[in-house]
Amino acid sequence: MDIATQTETAPPPPPVTTEQKRASRGATRPGDRIFLGLSRGSGILLLVIMAAIAAFLTYRAGLALADNTGNFLTTFEWDANAIPPKFGIAVLAFGTVVSSIIALVIAVPVAVGIALFISHYAPRKLAAPIAYVIDLLAAVPSIVYGLWGALVVAPNLTGLYSWLDSVLGWTGIFSYQGGAPRSLMTVGILLAIMILPIITNVSREVFLQAPKMHEEAALALGATRWEVIRMSVIPFGRSGIISASMLGLGRALGETIAVATVLSPNFLIGASLLDPGGGTFAQNIASKFNEASEYGRDALIASGLVLFLITLLVNGAARMIIARRKEYSGANA
Amino acid sequence: MSTTAPTAQAVTPDTLRAPRLPRWASPLVALGSAAAAVGVGLGTGLHSRVQWGLIAALLFVVASYVLATVVEGKRQAKDRFATSMVWMTFLLAVIPLASLIWETVERGSKVFSPYFLSHSMGVVADREVGGGINHAIIGTLQQVALASLIAVPIGLLTAIYLVEYGRGKLAKAVTFFVDVMTGIPSIVAGLFVLSFWILILGFDFSGWAGAMALSILMMPVVVRSTEEMLKLVPNELREASLALGVPKWRTILKVVLPTAIGGITTGVMLAVARIAGETAPVLLLVWVNPFINTNPFDGAQGSLPLYIYQQYAAGSEASYDRAWAAALALIGFIMILNLVARGIARWKAPKTGR
């Protein structure tokens, strides 16, 4: 009781001024203030760059769209150099989405398999070198993938495509006329190889975080290794796999030069995935840039803005899923 | 529990274990299916070795599944099936890497020589043999160096802000947008610099314009890797330094950064390796120059990735050879950077003290 009354009668602490707050943080010295300013400034600079990208692209895209005589979303043409210009992104959107989906369908199961291989199957001593091999796959520049895809992979795919045509050709999707298969399917296969490392790395991290106790409990109950993975690792890692796939999707959507090298583009939406033709946002920019007039460049910037917004959405969503569950990022992947 | 003991006693210990395939079963099945695949391949006249491999893999998976079902039961069979599928995915990923490196080395070594490294394409038409990548190497090195000059200080300071100072909304926003920034397509970074530097401010195509776009791609990578490294520095070091009355900024510069310098160097080198292979922004901003231009601030330059793209697009036998040789040079450069970076990481790994 005595103590309680004493504390009650004690004078209230003086209000803390901002000056004192700052002093307690230890940022009063000029050196500290300069350093804090510099580092905070560069953080802000990054935000400014992101905002500037959006702003400048929107401004130039607006210039192009104002004079467009076609419908930007539905026109099946790209005559941006003509007077009056007429262009639309329908074909590009179709090609981008289709090739990315093919890439994801191929890459996600394989990447999850490799991630499981590294985290649960491979002998301990081999896990690190194998992860390094997968990292090497990420280090290869996209232009080299493009060269390899166009001159090595594509010629070797004719056999597979003829076979697909003879078996599934009646669907229309898999019909193949012969000739160099510089098609959306080939692009999808190449993109799958290119996005494999990022999906693998992110899922591997998540699998390694799966609670050991769950796995041991399942093993103790007599589960086989596969049952352990199916019952405790995969359910835990599901959101990780989803966000990893979305990061991979972001890469696939924006891949430029490998697609531009492999695809033989046209401005039609064909039913067949195996026949050459189609285009993607990034590929179209790279292929059309050299002969674009100043106005044509603005039109390409408009399509680039669409690409920017799509990848922003996909990546943002993926990062939010990751951030919600764990403090982990695959930026080093 | 003791009530179950009599029944357990009645059974001999050997039958308690489920029947298992012997250890040599798997290699034997693998060998058998490989032999069968070779037989099928030779018999039906399939030329592609890839098809032989696929047949062998298929035979192996099916055979071990059937064998395991018969001997060990359904659950074990499923487990074996999953194991072989997981191994298969790994082999599937190695094939493209091996093929890519093999083809690049084999086709690239045809014209790869000191002459190729020391000459430009200035007076060589695309269809002729000869010429080299000297102009492209100079261009790439300068552009990457300039990009690093911009991106490394900004990236380092941002990472320091996030780890040492960052609290509240600003830090959260920066963290989020750094993550999003890693996903920006390189062509969009190129379009951004194109729109403001060339179209609005009216400057000419130059190595410097390309370097700006590359630095945008490099910054988030540097921030992320530096951040990871700074987080590894034990707090005791910071506290000890601050307790001695050292100002915070000197603590960061003299204690925190030196401790993490190995990892930071690795991160920077990996970032350099990544942007050195970027083609798209260079294509939009540096234009094309077959001659040697040593001034990145004035006029079009060469660039190694761009050179590969162009030689490929030229479409003659001689230009394909040059494209492969340049690809070999580029991959070699990037792999060396990678190896050195990882060597440094291992050599100077921070001692966490935990």
- pLDDT digit string (tens) for A214-225? 899 999 998 999
pLDDT tens digit string along B181-231? 988 999 999 999 999 899 899 998 999 999 999 999 999 999 999 998 999
Structural domain that includes position B336: 134-347
Classify residue B18: in a domain, yes or no: yes
Could you please report the per-residue DSSP string of B146-177?
HHHHHHHHHHHHHHHIIIII--HHHHHHHHHH
Q: Determine, for residues B187 and A282 on separate chains, whether the beta-carbon distance falls below 8 Å.
A: yes
**Co-location of B288 and B197 in the same domain:** yes
| Coil, helix or strand at residue A86 | strand
B224-264 pLDDT, tens digit each:
999 989 998 999 999 999 999 999 999 999 999 998 988 89
Residue B192 to residue A52, Cβ atoms within 8 A: yes
pLDDT of residue A325: 63
- Best A35, A249, A290, A324 member to test B by mutation, with max B CBs in 10 Å, is A35
Give the closest of A56, A111, A141 to B277, CB-based: A141
pLDDT of residue A13: 55
Is residue B265 domain-shared with residue B327, that is, in the same domain? yes
Q: Over the stretch B23-76, which tens digit does the pLDDT of each residue have?
A: 888 888 888 888 888 888 788 776 667 778 888 888 888 888 888 888 888 888
Burial of A172 (0-12, 13-18, 19+ CB in 10 A): exposed
pLDDT at B1: 42
**What is the model's pLDDT at position A110?**
94
Task: Please state, rounded to an integer, the average pLDDT across all residues of chain A.
Answer: 85
pLDDT band with cut points at 50, 70 and 90 for residue A2: very low
Structure-model confidence comparison of residues A328 and A177, the more confident one: A177
Are B157 and B295 within one domain? Answer: yes
Confidence band for B354, pLDDT divided at 50, 70 and 90: very low
Chain A neighbors of B174, CB-CB under 8 A? 43-44, 46-47
CA dihedral A17, A22, A25, A30 (to 10 degrees): -160
Contacts of residue B21, defined as CB under 8 A and 6 or more positions apart, other chains included, come to B67, B68, B71, B72
- Do B242 and B251 contact (CB within 8 A), yes or no? yes
Is residue B122 a part of any domain in this protein?
no
B158/B271 same-domain check: yes
* A30 in contact with B, Cβ within 8 Å: no
Q: How confident is the model at residue A274 (pLDDT cuts 50, 70, 90)?
A: confident
Cβ atoms of B285 and B196 closer than 8 Å: no
| Per-residue model confidence (pLDDT) at position B246 | 92
Q: Which CATH superfamily is domain A86-325 in?
A: MetI-like (1.10.3720.10)
Helix (H) or strand (E) run with residue B81 in it: helix B74-108
State which residue of chain B sits closest to A117, comparing Cα positions. Answer: B86
Question: Residue B340 domain-assigned?
Answer: yes
Averaged pLDDT, B155-173: 91
Give DSSP secondary structure letters for A245-295: HHHHHHHHHH--HHHHHH----S---S-SSSB----HHHHHHHHSTT--HH
pLDDT band at A332 (very low <50, low <70, confident <90, very high): very low
Region B312-336 average pLDDT = 92
B117 is a domain residue: no
Residue B55 placed within a domain: yes
| Cβ atoms B217, B186 nearer than 8 A | yes
* Residue among B54, B279, B328 with most chain A CBs within 10 A, to mutate: B279
Domain assignments of chain A as residue spans, ordered by start: 86-325
Average predicted confidence (pLDDT) for chain B: 87
Q: Are residues B251 and B317 in the same domain?
A: yes
Q: Alpha carbon B305 to chain centroid distance?
A: 16
Instruction: Give φ, ψ of B280 to 5 degrees.
Output: -55, -50
CA–CA distance, A239 with B339 (Å, rounded to integer): 33
Residue B61's CB is within 10 A of a number of other CB atoms, namely 18
pLDDT in tens, A19-38: 555 444 555 688 889 999 99
Q: Of B74, B91, B108, at which residue does a domain stop?
A: B108
Looking at the structure, do residues B92 and B38 belong to the same domain, yes or no? Answer: yes
Question: Cα(A142)–Cα(A190) distance, rounded to whole angstroms?
Answer: 10
Return the minimum-mean-pLDDT range out of A99-108, A205-214, B15-24, B72-81.
Answer: B15-24
Tokens coding A259: 């697609």
What span, in angstroms and rounded, lies between the C-alpha atoms of A32 and A22? Answer: 11
Which range has the worst mean pLDDT, A237-241, B16-20, B30-34? B16-20
**Residue B239, CA distances (Å) to A127, B6, B202, B234, B311 in order:** 36, 65, 51, 9, 57
Exposed / middle / buried, residue A102 (Cβ in 10 Å: 0-12, 13-18, 19+): buried
Which chain B residues are closer than 8 Å to A31 by Cβ? Answer: 247, 249-250
For position A310, what pLDDT does the model report?
Answer: 94
Do B171 and B52 reside in the same domain of the chain? no
Q: Which residues of B touch A34 (CB under 8 A)?
A: 249
Please compute the mean of the pLDDT values over residues B3-12 and round it to a whole number: 47
Backbone φ and ψ of B145, nearest 5° = -65, -45
Q: Does this complex have an ipTM over 0.85? A: yes
pLDDT at B2 > cutoff 50:
no
User: Is residue A128 classed exposed, middle or buried when 0-12, 13-18 and 19+ CB atoms within 10 A define those classes?
Assistant: exposed
| Mean pLDDT, range A62-80, rounded to an integer | 87
B118 part of a folded domain: no
Question: For chain B, how many structural domains are there in total?
Answer: 2
Residues B193 and B103 in one domain: no
Specify whether the CB–CB gap between A284 and A78 falls below 8 A: yes
Q: A183 — phi, psi (to 5°)?
A: -115, 175
Which token pair is A132?
């390094």
Together in a domain, B150 and B265: yes
**B42 and B140 share a domain?**
no
